[in-house]
Amino acid sequence: MKSNHVTLKDIARILELSPSTVSRALKDHPDINEETKKLVKTFAEKVNYRPNALALSLRQQKTNTIGLIIPEIVHHFFSSVISGIEDIAYGEGYNVMICQSNENYQREVIDTQALIDHRVDGILVSVSKTTRDFKHLQNAYDNGIPMVFFDRIVEEIKTDRVITDDFLGAQIATSHLIEKGCKNILHLAAPQHLVIGSRRKEGYLKALEEHGIETDEDLIVKCDTREYVFSLQQHLMKLIEEKHIDGIFAVNDSTAIATMQALQAEGIKIPEQIKVIGFGDGPNADIAYPPLSTVEQKGYETGREAMRLLLQRLENPGIEINFSTKVLTPTLKQRKST
Amino acid sequence: MKSNHVTLKDIARILELSPSTVSRALKDHPDINEETKKLVKTFAEKVNYRPNALALSLRQQKTNTIGLIIPEIVHHFFSSVISGIEDIAYGEGYNVMICQSNENYQREVIDTQALIDHRVDGILVSVSKTTRDFKHLQNAYDNGIPMVFFDRIVEEIKTDRVITDDFLGAQIATSHLIEKGCKNILHLAAPQHLVIGSRRKEGYLKALEEHGIETDEDLIVKCDTREYVFSLQQHLMKLIEEKHIDGIFAVNDSTAIATMQALQAEGIKIPEQIKVIGFGDGPNADIAYPPLSTVEQKGYETGREAMRLLLQRLENPGIEINFSTKVLTPTLKQRKST
């Protein structure tokens, strides 16, 4: 990692003066002539020399700032990740600057460049849904800035990673419905080009297979937002009736909650007639009526692990450490909807 | 606003060379001797001279970065504020770096210093609940960094501000309950040292007075979180029974929703027996059962207005503009809980 912070010794060397002359010039010492003082002070101001506030980080040639690029702050999982990162970072004397890409590739590029320009010590990233080209991240990496990817990773860039075992989480959720007696389970899925979308679908299919339940492609419906549920409401109701649906596994909590509301509007009782489970375990799961069973995705732990992996690099500059991928296991959180 | 970015001309002046010599030295021109090349290159690297990527911002002596200090990202109001700020900022070529104080004074101080060190062009702040000393913010202000306060402002620092009319919002909420037939209205209040706490209580009292309803201090209970509701559950139930409570105005949505859940657990029907209204209008209001009536606090608009006020300063450096306070009016959002 390169740093361009200027030390008192640098100023002395460049101006061909002794460090003590520079130091005394900055303090307006009477032994130093006015011309030298003016030169040193102008130069120190120009190169942003900060003798006091940043003394420590200057010595270490660090800014003690971590950059974080996150798709959507409003999403509970990501805000938990932020808390986990911050709790470790501030505890170790780093502050965290957060940039929200808002699922927008262009903003992610601008944010990455800004973090490089601000000379952050390291970058933590979860890429946006619209990012298909990774040059901007490769560029940060090539600049020698340590990086850790979490949740939405970039396969092409070899670095430390923290991910959730989405396959296992979906398998747990679906198995729970089966153990509760469900036989015809609908899966409301995310787009399959997203890794979380395909992994969660595969986990659902695996659980069915393990329990000897035949799969029916009609029971996998692309529907991963609250708005999507209400726009598909008629189609879903028809499907539920025709296929005798008795369990629903939704790819995230907000889709699961909207589905419960749509079912209740039609007079369907939950969990008596249909059991519903989500994925995530944000605070909405508790607020929902009935409270939602789900699998807990460990946002806070994800943030802590990502920051720990980054710290390991920051505190061992120049030492080769093999990249590692930390996989977090989600757990069942049973409430009243199943 | 001061900036310490180094231009090619600065390097030429400091090293006592012509700009064209510096330019050619950086390009390895054969006419320049090796010693000069080495001096110029070492110096340019040391002062972080960036001839290409930052050319535009160097010319304008700007970093095109806005710093934002926010108490709690997970709070829907604040994440809406962020969206509003970003939509204006990115549209105007600025990127936004967010620091979360997490309601912690120490972190707020560290964050403020980091933003100064990173030479942001301006700062937007909502202070943490634990901040009682404002020197760090005064320091940023004294450094000539334009600042705008929003929601939680600092009275002592005279600058641009964006606030919500909390008094009026509470008055609207309480009047709505009265118009729906409520006569004995409980107010679940925030701590009174917070401006939002006292203003919302005053708005509640004003609405009672306007409708000729006598106030009863027993009907104002300090209770402003979900956890608080459940710990006070027995006390609240006793109060509700003794005082024949038929309406509840909670200082925020999550307290209102938890209250509905506590009442329902006791078999009380909402809105038939007791009507409940909150304050905020986050997405939980829609998810609650029944969906929660509330007053809409305009987070997105707050962010847009704050950024607009900041832009006005950034784009008119050196021009005196009177500070202004923008007051946003909340509006009633009626759903099924009233």
Average pLDDT value for residue range A277-284: 93
Residues near A122 by Cβ (< 8 Å), separated by ≥ 6?
A66, A67, A145, A146, A147, A148, A310, A313, A314
| Helix, strand or coil, per DSSP, at residue A248 | strand
ipTM confidence: 0.71
Q: CB burial class (10 A; 0-12, 13-18, 19+) of residue A334? A: middle
Q: Give the Å distances, CA to CA, from A260 to A175, A265, A277.
A: 20, 9, 10
Q: B65-163+300-329 and B166-296: same fold?
A: yes
Closest chain A C-alpha to B79 CA, distance in angstroms? 6
- Please state, in angstroms and rounded to a whole number, the distance separating the CA atoms of residues A73 and B75: 10
- Please state, in angstroms and rounded to a whole number, the distance separating the CA atoms of residues B137 and B131: 11
Residue B55 has a pLDDT of: 41
Q: Which of A286-290, A325-329, B33-37, B88-92 has the weakest average pLDDT?
A: B33-37
Residue B209 has a pLDDT of: 97
Nearest to A328 by CA among A172, A176, A174, A166: A166
Rg of chain A, C-alpha, whole Å: 27
With an 8 Å Cβ cutoff, are A98 and B97 in contact?
yes
What is the residue whose two structure tokens read 């000393």? B133
Q: How far does Cα A195 stand from its chain's mean position?
A: 14
pLDDT category at B58 given cuts 50, 70, 90 is very low
With an 8 Å Cβ cutoff, are B4 and A288 in contact?
no
Homologous superfamily in CATH for domain B65-163+300-329? Response regulator (3.40.50.2300)
pLDDT higher than 70, residue A248 = yes
Sign of CA dihedral A291, A297, A299, A304: positive
**Which of B2, B16, B46 has the highest number of chain A CBs within 10 A, making it the mutation to test binding with A?**
B46
Over residues B13-53, the pLDDT tens digits come to: 888 888 888 888 887 788 888 888 888 888 887 776 765 43
Residue B190 has a pLDDT of: 92
Over residues A161-177, the pLDDT tens digits come to: 999 999 999 999 999 99
pLDDT higher than 50, residue A35 = yes
Sheet holding A185-189: strands in order across? A220-222, A185-189, A247-250, A275-277
Which of B64, B80, B90 lies at the smallest CB-CB distance from A107? B90
Average pLDDT value for residue range B141-166: 91
Which of B50, B95, B100 lies at the smallest CB-CB distance from A114? B95
Q: How far does Cα B37 stand from its chain's mean position?
A: 49
pLDDT higher than 60, residue A53 = no
Average pLDDT value for residue range A46-54: 57
With an 8 Å Cβ cutoff, are B287 and A257 in contact?
yes
Assigned CATH for A166-296: 3.40.50.2300
Over residues B247-262, the pLDDT tens digits come to: 999 999 999 999 999 9
Residue B50 has a pLDDT of: 60
Residues near B90 by Cβ (< 8 Å), separated by ≥ 6?
A107, A110, B96
Asked if A291 and A336 touch (Cβ cutoff 8 Å), the reply is yes
Which of B4, B74, B288 lies at the smallest CB-CB distance from A48? B4
- For chain A, the structural domain boundaries read 8-59, 65-164+300-329, 166-296
- Please state, in angstroms and rounded to a whole number, the distance separating the CA atoms of residues A240 and B192: 51
pLDDT higher than 80, residue B265 = yes
- Please state, in angstroms and rounded to a whole number, the distance separating the CA atoms of residues B168 and B200: 8
Closest chain A C-alpha to B74 CA, distance in angstroms? 6
pLDDT higher than 80, residue B6 = no
**How much of chain A, in percent, has pLDDT values that exceed 90?**
66
Residue A142 has a pLDDT of: 84
pLDDT category at A11 given cuts 50, 70, 90 is confident
Residue B61 has a pLDDT of: 61
With an 8 Å Cβ cutoff, are B100 and A96 in contact?
yes
Asked if B153 and B188 touch (Cβ cutoff 8 Å), the reply is no
In our burial notation (b when 16+ CB lie closer than 10 A, e otherwise), range B266-297 reads eeeebbeebbbbbbbbbebbebbbbbbbbbbb
Average pLDDT score over chain A: 89
With an 8 Å Cβ cutoff, are B284 and A288 in contact?
no
Q: Which of A12-21, A253-262, B97-106, B233-242 has the weakest average pLDDT?
A: A12-21
Q: Tell me yes or no: is domain A65-164+300-329 CATH 3.30.465.10.
A: no
Nearest to A78 by CA among A145, A19, A124, A23: A124
pLDDT category at A20 given cuts 50, 70, 90 is confident
User: For domain A8-59, which CATH number applies: 3.30.70.360, 1.10.3720.10, 1.10.260.40, 3.40.140.10?
Assistant: 1.10.260.40
